Amino acid sequence: MASPAARTAVPPALLALAALVLVLVPAAAAAACSAADRDALLSIRAALTEARLGVFSSWAGTDCCAGWYGVGCDPTDGRVADLSLRGEAEDAVMAPAGRPASGVMSG
């Protein structure tokens, strides 16, 4: 009769397969943003003027789902699901009357 350790040993091929699945599944699930969504975001960027906020400074590269400030994407299909362009520096409500705050976007 085989020892308890021999009966519970996992074959090396099965371990290798499990490791491969653990590496490949998350990579496939994180879809990059679509070209149409990226173009739409760049059109929004072109239409707005930001004063010293730097909100758009991270909007570089082809994958708008990877590190673009304020852009949130659906992880299953890579489509933009959320856009938040709020300024972190100043509140426009606190600006003096007749003069926009220095951290306000306009367009």
Over residues 11-48, the pLDDT tens digits come to 777 666 666 556 555 444 457 889 999 999 999 988 88
**How many Å apart are CA 69 and CA 23, to the nearest integer?**
27
- Tokens linked to 27: 């990579």
Return the domain boundaries, the chain: 31-106
Q: What is the pTM of this model?
A: 0.55
* Confidence (pLDDT) at 5: 53
Whether the CB-CB separation of 65 and 71 falls below 8 Å is answered with yes
